[in-house]
Structure 1
């Protein structure tokens, strides 16, 4: 997995690489700037005017080095270096000296006042003002420069991180003093703030550039945040033994549906069966029996005594996974059923949708959650379970606390869905697309995770693999057709291709 390092650990990893490769700080900047320019030149031709804004630290050094390489490659480059109070870092000063001896580059060294250049839609701005480590909002002249750049109409490409953006929590930041980048070309790993919706307008499209930071350092310097990769997922998925039978892959119970919401139950059941479960029993309201038997003939049906809702379930059968929630509503009898399942379960539960909403209205029941249960809330459901959150960063903090305090797995759904584990690790998912923002998508995910858990995957693997396969199925459909036309059943129809793609 790709580790996501935050705060001081980012600089610590740089220092570790410099000390143990060994490599000088200037040479590491040279390497990083070279990779950055390679990607920049894939985006923009030599016909575009390039204006570089370089700050006094090592992000500015990256920008000055990139300016020199772009000039060597035939680009028209103009540089503004902010040398306020003579505070350049040693590396930035080294590249300043290089540019002074470089023909073809116009460099303006800003000491106190700046005459702002004319920029247009044909200009590409390189943002190298401030990098990681910033811990307070930009103020004064730098804030005015950022505001000018954001209003210029030019495309902006940020080096490593948009200037003014914090790596983690931006709740107290000044939104008017953060660069709104068109593209962010970041080094070695994404920054945590890139994965939160409130920062999308600042980061733009982003890409990670491998600059060869120490592998040993990444293993030595610990982080709790990770972004999964294709390689990680292919290592999770298991081969099915040739002489296996349906009993080899578990028996799952799905409690779902109510009158008018049998679609949720059918979607979850179909997804569960498409995810490798050997046997599935669906406990549904009596009104839904003909619907389920027709739409999902592979599922065994246990009809509730109540016609319109689920109210009770008693069976000596031992299930390898029990999922509850899609479309069940919040009738009093259904509330009692959820309470009973929390007390009676011999193993982890997968709780989604109205099961979570019922628990949110009975907060004391959180202490009854079986160990290693899996909760799959979207942002509003999480806030009902915890507290109001102003940002995605705060939601992540609440989800992590919920997971660790109750020893459960919390899959916080959304773009870059986050699996929060009891031990503190968080794995972000990197598949999926906006077309999946459609009714029933969450029911499909719940069904996938139930099928994986029931067929023998441990909870952590079921969550991470389930998220990935769910998103990949959406990407396969969108690649073949479009994001706009995607509906939840399309995800199920593409699960087979998604599993095969991961396996291959």
Structure 2
């Protein structure tokens, strides 16, 4: 699913109007009706109580007026408060005239802000994606008043005051409980800083022109199951273990053998044909017991890896989980970067070693997969001023080193060498637990070992990792989720994505 800019979204509206031969007012009616359908499906008139609808002077306010009319027609109690302005949009004016006289309408002023009791259902239709600067004066006062009220706020398209695809300046922004977007999500929804404003966001289809959307150039994408169609082939009936690759994991140190075990279990559950796990000698008994399906190569050193094994047999290599940052593992990574001829996945301490020895980044093989969390990424690059600056750093890093970087988080973001970004749609807060990243490393290594492209492997890996976490949370609850639970559901998650045979 594409994430378009605010300008592209306005162009999509115009393309729809032209293609269907309808008016902008008709498209507004369509969007506002979809919003009303969503709201009435979630709140009965009794549950909603009297609904306050705050309307600005533009088309977002016009949406709010249509919602007011539609809700009133479905026997909901509504009242409208208008933000005064010298000019208002034509569609706003038309829908203000259509508002039934029984609906109470008041004009907002600095001395007349509507009383908002705690728990009141408020629809925020003050400002939409056309906003390009911070709210000021009365508009800012209204937003501060709303935020202080502890109301149940539902924003139309985007919380008022929030910029849809630009760094957020200081100023008033509505803190919504739900945000209802139309057709496609907004870039602002993906970014951690905006979570307190957006709340839970939902996308409603309103049949914007498909041809325009398909042809629109997009730097940002939202990864859903549809985007992954036909990327994971069905396993061949006469396949054998050699068909699906031989992965090597270089992982573990004294006290962190569990990281190696989790990565290995995840690798095996992700369809690899063969797995060899290289661990320090202290991990031998643990690995042979916990992961009997893997072959275990023990390092001559007891507590950490000190030697790189012969790499000739392997089709992909993962390094980092529990590795440690001693001099010996540093030498192992340095040698690996120099000698590796197959796809490479780097995580955890492998990334920390790179950050401490940045000259090694020049030796990073093209198409390598890196999986940092934000702090690890900061060590590899520099501190980010804001979420948008972090995306710039991610783009520059991937382009400079011709690599794919999985920046882990609530909407894990995959950066690519061509400057395209992919935000993941799966996963839950229960996955913020030790070992979750080790599981992802094992999955990505397995997918690369099966000869998938770096883009396909990364997209399938981050989506299936989150999906497995979602399936696990249904059984354990989010608070009870541990990394091993994610491993248990990797198989079902990948099965959902496997290409189905047609008749």
TM range (shorter): over 0.9
Secondary structure of residue in 1 paired with 2:230: helix
Structure 1 counterpart of 2:91: 91
User: Aligned-pair distance for 1:133?
Assistant: 2.5
> How do 1:290-439 residues align onto structure 2 when only pairs under 5 Å count?
290-315=285-310, 317-439=312-434
Query: Which aligned pairs between 1:78-117 and structure 2 lie closer than 5 A?
Result: 78-85=79-86, 87-99=87-99, 102-110=100-108, 115-117=112-114
Correspondence 1:34-433 to 2 at 5 A: 34-47=33-46, 48-85=49-86, 87-99=87-99, 102-110=100-108, 115-174=112-171, 177-315=172-310, 317-433=312-428
Q: What is the Cα deviation at residue 83 of structure 1?
A: 3.2
Q: Secondary structure at the match of 2:45?
A: coil
Indicate if the aligned counterparts of 1:400 and 1:410 stay in contact, CA closer than 8 A: no
Unmatched 5+ stretches in structure 2: none
CA distance in 2, matches of 1:317, 1:258: 24
Residue deviations 1:369-414 (CA, integer Å, cap 9, x gap): 1010000000100000011124333322222221122111001111
What TM-score results when the alignment is normalised by the length of structure 1? 0.96
Contact 2:167 2:387 in 1 (8 A): no
Q: Deviations over 1:316-351 (max 9, x none)?
A: 524211110001111011111111111111133100
- Secondary structure (helix, strand or coil) at the match of 2:5 reads coil
The DSSP-based 3-state class of the residue aligned with 2:267 is helix
Count of paired positions: 497
| Alpha-carbon separation, structure 1, partners of 2:54 and 2:318 | 54
**Does 1:12 find its partner at 2:8?**
no
1:443-491 Cα shifts (integer Å, max 9, x gaps) = 0000001001101211111111111111111111111221111111111
CA displacement at 1:109 relative to structure 2: 3.8
SS of equivalent residue, structure 1 residue 350:
strand
Q: How far did residue 22 of structure 1 move?
A: 2.7
- 1:448 maps to 443
The CA deviation string for residues 200-230 of structure 1, in whole angstroms up to 9 with x for no partner, is 1111111101111111010222111111222
**Matches of 2:262 and 2:391 in 1, distance apart?**
27
Asked if 1 retains the 8 angstrom alpha-carbon contact of 2:12 and 2:209, the reply is yes
**TM-score, reference length from structure 2:** 0.96
Distance 1:22 1:451 in 2: 51
Q: Which runs of 4+ in 1 moved over 6 A?
A: none
- Work out whether residues 83 and 139 of structure 2, in 8 Å CA contact, stay in contact via their aligned partners in 1: no
Q: Unmatched 5+ residue regions in structure 1?
A: none
Conservation of the 8 A alpha-carbon contact between 2:110 and 2:141:
no
Aligned partner of 1:479 among 474, 482, 490: 474
Q: Give the match for residue 27 of structure 2.
A: 28
Separation in 2, partners of 1:449, 1:316 = 18
CA shift for structure 1 position 234: 4.3
- Whether contact under 8 Å (2:2, 2:222) holds in the other structure is yes
What residue number does 1:464 align with?
459
Does the 8 Å CA contact 1:347/1:371 hold for their aligned counterparts? no
CA RMSD of aligned residues (A): 1.5
CA 25–114 in structure 1, closer or farther in 2 if over 3 Å, else same: farther
**Separation of aligned partners in 1, 2:261 and 2:355:** 25
1:64, CA displacement in angstroms? 0.7
Alpha-carbon separation, structure 2, partners of 1:256 and 1:356: 13
